[in-house]
Amino acid sequence: MKPLVSIALCTFNGQAHLKPQLETLLQQSYSNLEIIVIDDASTDDTYAILLQYAAKYPHFKVYRNERNKGYNRNFEQALQKCSGDLIAICDQDDLWHPKKIEKQVEAIQGHQLIYHDSELIDAQGKSLQLRMSQKFNFYRGTNPAAFLFINCVSGHSIMLKRTVLDKALPFPNSGHYDQWLAFVAASQGSIDYLDEALVYYRQHDSNATDILATKSSRKSAKNKVAPLLSESNWLKTCRVLTGSAYHGLVGQLYQLSASRNRSYCNLQYAGKIWWNRTLLLPILKKNALSKFFYCLRKSWGVPMKRLL
């Protein structure tokens, strides 16, 4: 018998694009599915739409938060409710290829996580002629350090084995849940990807991730400093999980980042990233010179960011 695949879907004020997405879930060629949906206290008709589908399709299981928890905590909760040995993650506003689940089930094999390419579409569903693989080098392998600074594994593209959740839950306070899942999966075994666009990834003003960098780049001093502090907290969390092959490096990066935060500039931190760029920056789709300046920018500390 085919293994049960749980689809974890989180919603929040998503009525504009929800129905087309739900229809693509129903059109999946893989039949042994359960769909776990948690609505994060929507104030529009999202929850009413979900109830309509749950009443019609027994494999839809719908829950609702009394108060908004945010997408990281909401996905954490949804994953906890999944009962399948394989779990796929779903956003509320994309469109899935009908063989997405079937192809991922066939491809996951001995890997802990399998992901795939995605094609970007606009709010109206028109192709933007851009794929995620044009923005990032997709990574396959067993190196969790590849995900310390950059992530190429979008949540909507993930299928993982339930065993990954043993170490991944609860989600840490720092970082994005999809980057964390990729990091954990690579630390437990191998991850791989399918070189196919199996999701049409919708871009609009409400996206949690600004892939196209269309939102305003003007930031207050507080917003410039916050990513530095978050980066240090993220490295601290990752240091605890990594095995002996990477523990020393991640620990050194955490210490250097904390020192960087207290100073105007810490070139040692930038140098550590540069000299380990093969391990740390395989996802960054840049030439050597661009990677050098990326590392150099990492040296700017909190006092410098406040000045800038």
> For 42-69, what is each residue's pLDDT tens digit?
999 999 999 999 999 999 999 999 999 9
Give the Cα separation of 147 and 276 in Å (integer): 13
Of 8, 201, 195, the residue nearest 118 (C-alpha): 201
Could you identify the residue written with the tokens 């909760």?
A: 77
Tally: H helices and E strands in the chain: 12, 9
Q: Where are the domains of the chain?
A: 5-202, 221-307
CATH class of 5-202: alpha beta
Give the Cα separation of 16 and 24 in Å (integer): 15
In 185-270, DSSP assigns E strands to 191-202
pTM of structure: 0.92
Residue 5 C-alpha from the chain's centroid: 19
Give the Cα separation of 79 and 61 in Å (integer): 13
Distances (CA, A) of 203 to 128, 139, 164, 172, 251: 9, 23, 29, 26, 36
> For 85-98, what is each residue's pLDDT tens digit?
999 999 999 999 99
Could you identify the residue written with the tokens 């999701």?
A: 199
Write out the two tokens for 269. Answer: 């931190």
pLDDT at 208: 57
> For 137-182, what is each residue's pLDDT tens digit?
999 999 999 999 999 999 999 999 999 999 999 999 888 999 999 9
